[in-house]
Amino acid sequence: MKDEGGILSAFGFSMPPDEAAAVDELSRQLLSWSHLWSGHPEAGEVGSKHRLVRKRLATWLGRCIGQRARGLLTSSAEDLSLAISTPLLTAFLGRRATRELSRQVLRDL
Amino acid sequence: MLGMAAYLYYLMTDSYRYLIWYFWIEGTLFLLLMTAAESFLALQCRAGFDADEPMRLAWTFIALSSFSRFAGAVLMAAKGWHFTWITGQTSSALALISLERLARIGDVVGGPLALALLAAGLSRVLKIQRMFNVLSRLTRMDRLLIGLIVAFTLGQVVNIAQYIAHRPQLSTVFLWLSDPLLALLLIEAVLIRRSVIRVGFGLISQCWGMYVIAIVTTSAGDASLWAANAGLLSAPMTALSWYIWFFASAAFASAPAYQLAAMSLPSAEESAARTRV
């Protein structure tokens, strides 16, 4: 019942190796989504995913709010992220539509 | 096409026959359909926001304004159409009196009440836009336009105060509120237009842009009524100005359609992606 130094062992939990591996994979995925959400890549992380998220998000902002909506959120295109655009999108599209939009932005990532 | 044909017939023969039929039947049906569509769409937009979201209240006011316009259109159409159905019946005189009164209520409900509710909804939208820095600074031209609107409204208020001394009917007093309310809506339209220019043409900004068009065309229709009554417009120009109301009601119905399109786009894309898989 070893956790091979994963997140579970850090919290003092133990479970069968196959389950522990699945949970570890999930936690890695959640961490990756959280980095994509915030727009801050971890050192050594593939930048193409972040570029794709920014591109998709800029397209959605343009279609739903307006082509210049990105300029209201950040002066640099590199800083655009789901974290900074969610309040604006939620205000004008509503919580449910913004949730769907975030799913579309993070699709297959 | 029918409208154009009716107008051309009027220009060639100087007879209002087909023009009156056109506005009476197709015009009324168009107005009823547009206000019903506007009410349904505005209600759908309202449902897209949760109870604790700030835009929910804005759409509540806008939906109520649409319902007022629809109710006003129904009451006025009932009077116009019933006139021909009941002639010759024994109860017709009584029915006409009550219909006359209902049409008067329709004028108030579809006019100043709807405008006041829309003004409340749009002021809420402006507040939210200001919160997100969507509103940009007004240009000198905007300030000049707002100044002119305020000066015109103050003149109207002075006139109203003078007329009130003659003890007019309550419905007449309410109807006088239309112009100051339209002026308020025009000021809101100037501010919203700035925000639309600032964010560019997405679905949401087109929604607010449609309200700007609707308010401007309503004001133009109102001004043309005033100009026609004052004898400033020729008869063909007066007849042409009646068509403005089609554009105004179409713009009012298009605005919530754009908002709904923006709100449904992400889930529509999701369904399309699922179908492709």
pLDDT at A21: 85
Together in a domain, A55 and A87: yes
- Mutation choice for A interface testing from B129, B194, B265 by most A CBs within 10 A: B265
A108: left (phi over 0), alpha (psi -120 to 50) or beta: left
pLDDT at A43: 58
Together in a domain, A68 and A21: no
Chain B residues whose CB is inside 8 A of the A91 CB are: 53-55, 128, 131-132
Tell me the pLDDT tens digit for each residue of B27-77: 889 999 999 999 999 999 999 999 999 999 999 999 999 999 999 999 888
pTM of the model: 0.82
Q: A63 with A97: CB under 8 angstroms?
A: no
Together in a domain, A55 and A30: no
Tell me which chain A residue has its CA closest to the CA of residue B202: A66
B271 close to A (CB below 8 A): no
Together in a domain, A67 and A106: yes
**What is the pLDDT tens value at each position of chain B, 277 positions in all?**
788 888 888 888 888 888 888 888 888 899 999 999 999 999 999 999 999 999 999 999 999 999 999 999 998 888 766 555 444 454 555 555 577 778 888 888 988 999 999 999 999 999 998 888 888 778 888 888 888 888 877 877 777 777 777 777 777 777 788 888 888 888 888 888 888 888 888 999 899 889 989 998 988 888 888 888 888 888 888 888 889 999 999 999 999 999 999 999 988 877 777 777 6
Segments forming the whole domain that contains residue B16: 2-276
pLDDT at A1: 44
| CA–CA distance, B174 with B105 (Å, rounded to integer) | 10
Nearest by CB to residue B202, choosing from A65, A94, A96, is A65
Residues 132-151 of chain B whose Cβ lies under 8 A from any Cβ of chain A: 132-134
Together in a domain, A66 and A102: yes
Number of domains comprising chain B = 1
Together in a domain, A20 and A67: no
Judged by CB atoms closer than 8 Å, whether chains meet at B263 and A66 is answered as no
Segments forming the whole domain that contains residue A93: 46-109
Judged by CB atoms closer than 8 Å, whether chains meet at B204 and A65 is answered as yes
Judged by CB atoms closer than 8 Å, whether chains meet at A103 and B132 is answered as no
pLDDT at B251: 94
Together in a domain, A19 and A58: no
Name the interface residues of A facing B (CB cutoff 8 Å): 60-69, 72, 87-88, 90-97, 100-101, 103-104, 107
Residue with tokens 């006359």: B100
How close A75 gets to chain B, by Cα (Å)? 13
| CA–CA distance, B118 with B126 (Å, rounded to integer) | 12
Tell me which chain B residue has its CA closest to the CA of residue A97: B263
How close B134 gets to chain A, by Cα (Å)? 7
Low-confidence ranges of chain A (pLDDT < 70): 1-14, 41-46
Number of domains comprising chain A = 2
CB count, 10 Å around CB of B23?
21
Together in a domain, A82 and A29: no
The string over B175-197, giving b where at least 16 C-beta atoms fall within 10 Å of a residue's C-beta and e elsewhere, is bbbbbbbbbbbbbbbbbbbbbbe
Together in a domain, A33 and A53: no
Together in a domain, A29 and A73: no
B131 close to A (CB below 8 A): yes
Together in a domain, A64 and A96: yes
Count Cβ atoms within 10 A of the Cβ of residue B17 and give its class: 0-12 exposed, 13-18 middle, 19 or more buried. Answer: exposed
